[in-house]
Amino acid sequence: MEAYTSLLSFGLSSHGLSTLEKLYGKPVTVADREMVEEKADNILSEARDSDVAFLVVGDPFGATTHTDLVVRAKKLGVDVKVVYNASVMNAVGVCGLQLYHYGETVSIPFFTETWRPDSFYEKIQRNRLLGLHTLCLLDIRVKEPTLESLCRGRKQYEPPRYMTINTAIEQLLEVEQLRGESTYNEDTICVGFARLGSEDQMVVAGSMRQLLMIDFGAPLHCLVMVGKTHPVEDEMLDFYKLEEKTSEPNDKETA
């Protein structure tokens, strides 16, 4: 069970694992980043002679890591069968913005004191010039080695971190202020999503300024910057608009 590119809604505690094992009738091994990226040969070696299931959260081709596994398996002559699944790429359709009106998806990484990448800006800019919506996937940092431990040659890990919509908007606005190209601003309409697909999923539409004030709760979060809209998209989006939720701004919406 791959456990670093996304997160199961019920987590991978001993209770969560036992739930999966009971469902499948098989033991489940949690595969962290190191196992998937550095010890994949062990997984592929076993798959030569027996059935091995590699479980992921969301669609199996949502991350290049998974595509790489398939390529390596095929080169080894291992037969690969894919079971498709829903992912955030189509689940965001719940807000009413049509999926074929989206441009290139971007990833927003956590900024640090010395590393503040902004390559996503040009992609957002291109999308907005074309009137397209932009899905922003927010950083997940699980089992990341600390810089100090890497220098010492003994791995110690940072606590898991999951970017919130609020942090993403703060970083997006910081980049816009530095660029000064008026690609978006505090009044740009966005949609914030939290825990998509779960019973307590949250979908809220509003300006960047408004969404900054919302507590979206537990991870995982993602953000959509709204482009040019069709009247039908507007009608659906109105159900999630913040101004419609003045008495209960944290209403939870379930698809």
Q: What is the mean pLDDT of residues 239-244?
A: 79
- The contacts of residue 33 (CB under 8 Å, 6+ apart) are 4, 142, 143
For residues 84-90, give the mean pLDDT.
90
114 compared with 126, residue with greater pLDDT: 126
Report the binding-site residues.
59, 62, 87-88, 138, 196, 221
Determine the pLDDT at residue 142. 75
Q: What is the per-residue pLDDT for 14?
A: 60
Q: Which pLDDT score is estimated for 159?
A: 80
Cβ count within 10 A of residue 235: 11
pLDDT (tens digit, 9 = 90+) per residue, 2-48? 877 777 766 656 666 788 889 889 888 888 878 887 888 888 999 99
Other beta carbons less than 10 A from residue 107's beta carbon? 15
| Token duo for residue 45 | 């070696």
Residues in the chain: 255
Nearest to 2 by CA among 60, 55, 69, 68: 55
Q: Are 202 and 193 in contact (CB under 8 A)?
A: yes
Highest-confidence segment of 30-39, 134-143, 219-228: 219-228
Q: Is 164 helix (H, G, I), strand (E, B) or coil?
A: coil
What mean pLDDT value characterizes the chain? 88
**Confidence check: pLDDT of 148 > 70:** no
Q: Cα–Cα distance between 30 and 55 in angstroms, integer?
A: 10
Q: How confident is the model at residue 244 (pLDDT cuts 50, 70, 90)?
A: very low
Q: How do residues 109-125 score in pLDDT, each as one tens digit?
A: 999 999 999 999 999 99
Residue for token pair 């009608």: 235
Name which of 69, 64, 59 is nearest 38 in CA terms. 69
pLDDT above 90 coverage of the chain, percent: 60
* pTM of the shown model: 0.84
Mean pLDDT for 212-227 is 96
Q: Which amino acid is at 58?
A: G
- For the annotated binding site for S-adenosyl-L-methionine, the residues are 59, 62, 87-88, 138, 196, 221
Q: How far apart are CA 45 and CA 49, in angstroms?
A: 8
Asked which of 18-27, 136-145, 212-221 is least confident by mean pLDDT, the reply is 136-145
Burial of residue 115 (number of CB atoms within 10 Å: 0-12, 13-18, 19+) = exposed
* Mean pLDDT of the 188-202 span: 95
pLDDT exceeds cutoff 70 at 153: no
Domains detected in the chain? 14-75 (no CATH), 88-245 (3.30.950.10)
